[in-house]
């Protein structure tokens, strides 16, 4: 089991985990190595045939460039979401790296001769497009190296860093575009001869290729490697294959290396994006798990693991409204552990907690039907909510609870009732709709008798049970109270 898998077992103990700070598990590492190995194998197979001429497919260029722009923009946005959480300079640089590649892909497409016009949309010629490609494929590994070097340093406040980062990326792309279009003959040497490469191109492409290798090495030597670092290394492997096939080993445009290299470019743009999308799915699942756990904890008593007072109040209000709509009975048992203070004083609070757990276990087993609820009402007092039952069934259940708890034979030497733990139970059973009718309250008007009336009645019955000697059941009616010995 990977470290990621073990962290997902308990949603409440799980630390915040993201691609940028989560160490890779064994399975993730094996998958990354396998994909990198397959990429290199395909590269080695295709490299000897890179100069093989293929038909000119002009539709390939806009499809390829559009996919790159979309992939890199989405990746940049998703990485920006992680930057908003960890606020590290390294993550901000990586956001800029993918934004840079997206913008450069768009500019490269606009400059491609013959695609949107004879000289492209932004002017220039074949030299312009080739130099844009070189600057594009040199800029990304440089930014990746900066990411690897910065490590976990915290960035400056967001209101200062974001305008600076966005401005730097846009300005950099504009400068490169101007340099490639206006300085193609005066500042930059010619690297294209028609659709083929000049001798200078080999040196330029090899230098760009070396930058990608350095970026891969920088990620490999990073002090603490994360899942993101691992997939960036896979990306740089594909990036190396991209440049190698489309600029180093091929002969020019529209040969096998040209097409195969750009397919590797699409793969390079997709690796981190796919992992980020998968991670977003896992984050959503973790959020759902955490939400469910928080909901459970907010309604469960931490000591006894049955419903707490909040859950009881909500259930009472809901069952009260349902009883009014259906004109049914609603019953309540209030249960008090006899002389529990003396039990705590004699045996200690740890033993007292165990006693309460035992009582809660019996109550939980008794309240199993739909709508029934056993809850810790407060201290040593418990409540059992019973909808739909008639008084005979309610009294029978109350007596079973009392006798089952007595049969546990939990010792209670300080008790004034006997030498074991016993409980007193107050029973109240009310038909809310009948009370409304008696008081002239119209059903469905939103005006209802307060469900606290049921609690008050059960509490009065509990008081009578205690006064009558404890270890017994006492019942309360709607309009009066009658103590019945158990």
Same domain, 333 and 269: no
Same domain, 290 and 314: no
Instruction: Report the distance separating Cα 90 and Cα 146, nearest Å.
Output: 7
Residue 15 inside a domain? The answer is yes
CA dihedral 113, 119, 123, 125 (to 10 degrees): 60
Please say whether the beta carbons of 346 and 413 come within 8 A.
yes
Instruction: Report the distance separating Cα 475 and Cα 461, nearest Å.
Output: 5
Instruction: Report the distance separating Cα 23 and Cα 282, nearest Å.
Output: 16
Please say whether the beta carbons of 474 and 464 come within 8 A.
yes
CB atoms within 10 A of CB 292: 11
Same domain, 32 and 136: yes
| Residue after which a domain boundary falls, among 272, 296, 320 | 296
Token pair of 117, please?
């016009």
Residue 302 inside a domain? The answer is no
Residue 406 inside a domain? The answer is yes
Which uninterrupted H or E stretch holds 197?
A: strand 196-197
Residue 135 inside a domain? The answer is yes
CATH number at residue 454: 3.30.70.270
Residue 301 inside a domain? The answer is no
pLDDT at 266: 87
Instruction: Report the distance separating Cα 282 and Cα 479, nearest Å.
Output: 57
Same domain, 358 and 452: yes
Residue 303 inside a domain? The answer is no
3-state secondary structure of 113: coil
DSSP state string for 440-467: TPPTTSS----THHHHHHHHHHHHHHHH
- The closest alpha carbon to 173, from 100, 108, 110, 97, belongs to 100
Residue 304 inside a domain? The answer is no
Same domain, 188 and 209: yes
- The closest alpha carbon to 64, from 272, 277, 274, 265, belongs to 265
pLDDT at 478: 47
Question: What is the CB-side half-sphere exposure of residue 429 using CA atoms within 13 A?
Answer: 18
Same domain, 344 and 407: yes
96-107 core/surface letters (b: 16 or more CB in 10 A; e: else): bbbbbbbbbbbb
Question: Across the chain, how many H-helices and E-strands are there?
Answer: 15, 8
Question: What DSSP designation does 329 have?
Answer: -
Per-residue pLDDT tens listing for the chain (486 residues): 444 344 344 444 444 566 677 788 888 889 899 989 999 999 999 999 999 999 988 788 888 889 999 999 999 999 998 888 888 888 899 999 999 999 999 998 888 776 666 566 776 677 888 899 999 999 999 999 999 988 666 766 777 788 888 999 999 999 999 888 876 566 888 888 877 888 888 899 999 999 999 999 999 988 778 888 999 999 999 999 999 998 889 888 889 999 999 898 888 888 888 888 887 787 778 878 888 888 877 899 999 999 999 999 999 999 999 998 899 999 999 999 999 999 999 999 999 999 999 999 999 999 988 889 999 999 999 999 999 998 899 999 999 999 999 999 999 999 888 889 999 999 999 888 776 665 554 444 444 468 898 999 999 999 999 999 999 999 985 433 333 333
Going by their DSSP bridges, the two strands 423-430 and 330-337 should be labelled as antiparallel
Instruction: Report the distance separating Cα 155 and Cα 161, nearest Å.
Output: 7
Phi-psi region of 243 (alpha: psi -120 to 50; beta: other; left: phi over 0): alpha
pLDDT at 7: 39
Please say whether the beta carbons of 258 and 248 come within 8 A.
no
Compute and round to an integer the Cα radius of gyration of the chain: 37
| Residue after which a domain boundary falls, among 264, 296, 328 | 296
Beta bridge partners of 475: 427, 482
Same domain, 292 and 313: no
- The closest alpha carbon to 397, from 407, 386, 388, belongs to 386
122-155 core/surface letters (b: 16 or more CB in 10 A; e: else): bebbbbbbbbbbbbbbbbbbebbbbbbebeeeeb
Instruction: Report the distance separating Cα 144 and Cα 187, nearest Å.
Output: 27
Same domain, 149 and 247: yes
Instruction: Give 213: exposed, middle or buried? Use CB within 10 Å, 0-12, 13-18, 19+.
Output: middle
Instruction: Tell me how far CA of residue 312 lies from CA of 309, 320, 323, 382, in angstroms.
Output: 5, 12, 16, 10
Which uninterrupted H or E stretch holds 376?
A: strand 373-378
3-state secondary structure of 331: strand
DSSP state string for 63-83: HHHHHHHHHHHHHHHHHHHHH
pLDDT at 436: 61
pLDDT at 18: 66
- The closest alpha carbon to 97, from 131, 162, 142, 153, belongs to 142
Domain that holds residue 462: 309-482
The count of domains in the chain is 2
pLDDT at 86: 81
What pTM did the predictor assign?
0.67
Residue 275 inside a domain? The answer is yes
Same domain, 253 and 194: yes
Same domain, 351 and 277: no
Same domain, 339 and 276: no
Instruction: Tell me how far CA of residue 45 lies from CA of 42, 48, 58, 175, 399, in angstroms.
Output: 5, 7, 25, 38, 83
Token pair of 288, please?
């759902």
Same domain, 63 and 186: yes
Instruction: Report the distance separating Cα 41 and Cα 303, nearest Å.
Output: 60
Q: Which long-range CB contacts under 8 A does 217-221 form with residues at least 24 apart? A: 218/144, 218/145, 218/148, 218/149, 219/144, 219/148, 221/148
| Residue after which a domain boundary falls, among 296, 328, 350 | 296
């Amino acid at each position: 089991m990977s470290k990621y898998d073990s962290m997902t077992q308990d949603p409440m103990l799980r630390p915040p985990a993201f691609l940028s700070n989560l160490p890779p598990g064994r399975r993730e590492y094996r998958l990354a190595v396998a994909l990198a190995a397959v990429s290199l194998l395909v590269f080695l197979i295709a490299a000897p045939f890179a100069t093989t001429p293929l038909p000119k497919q002009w539709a390939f260029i806009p499809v390829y460039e559009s996919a790159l722009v979309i992939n890199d923009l989405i990746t940049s946005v998703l990485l920006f979401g992680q930057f908003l959480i960890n606020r590290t300079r390294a993550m901000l640089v990586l956001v800029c790296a993918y934004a840079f590649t997206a913008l450069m892909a768009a500019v490269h497409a606009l400059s491609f001769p013959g695609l949107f016009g004879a000289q492209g949309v932004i002017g220039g010629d074949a030299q312009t497009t080739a130099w844009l490609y070189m600057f594009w494929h040199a800029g990304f590994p440089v930014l990746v190296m900066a990411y690897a070097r910065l490590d976990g340093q915290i960035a400056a406040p967001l209101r200062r860093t974001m305008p600076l980062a966005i401005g730097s990326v846009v300005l950099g792309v504009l400068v490169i575009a101007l340099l490639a279009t206006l300085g193609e003959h005066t500042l930059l040497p010619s690297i294209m001869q028609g659709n083929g490469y000049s001798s200078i191109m080999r040196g330029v492409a090899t230098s760009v290729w070396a930058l990608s290798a350095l970026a891969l090495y920088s990620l490999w030597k990073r002090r603490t490697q994360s899942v993101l670092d691992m997939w960036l290394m896979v990306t740089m492997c594909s990036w190396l294959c991209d440049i190698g096939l489309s600029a180093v080993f091929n002969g020019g445009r529209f040969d096998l290396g040209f097409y195969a290299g750009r397919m590797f470019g699409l793969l390079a743009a997709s690796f981190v994006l796919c992992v980020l999308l998968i991670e977003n799915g896992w984050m959503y699942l973790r959020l759902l798990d955490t939400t469910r756990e928080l909901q459970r904890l907010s309604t469960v008593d931490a000591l006894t693991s049955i419903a707490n007072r909040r859950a009881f109040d909500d259930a009472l209000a809901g069952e009260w409204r349902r009883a009014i709509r259906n004109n049914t009975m609603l019953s309540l048992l209030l249960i008090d552990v006899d002389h529990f203070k003396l039990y705590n004083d004699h045996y200690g609070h740890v033993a007292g907690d165990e006693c309460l757990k035992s009582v809660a276990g019996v109550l939980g087993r008794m309240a199993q039907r739909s709508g029934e609820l056993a809850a810790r009402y407060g201290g040593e007092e418990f409540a059992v909510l019973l909808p739909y039952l008639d008084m005979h069934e309610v009294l029978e259940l109350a007596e079973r609870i009392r006798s089952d708890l007595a049969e546990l034979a939990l010792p209670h030497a300080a008790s004034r009732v006997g030498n074991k733990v016993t409980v007193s139970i107050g029973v109240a059973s009310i038909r809310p709709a009948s009370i409304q009718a008696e008081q002239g309250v119209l059903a469905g008007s939103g005006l209802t008798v307060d469900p606290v009336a049921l609690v008050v009645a059960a509490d009065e019955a509990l008081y009578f049970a205690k006064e009558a000697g404890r270890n017994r059941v006492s019942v309360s009616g709607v309009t009066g109270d009658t103590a019945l010995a158990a």
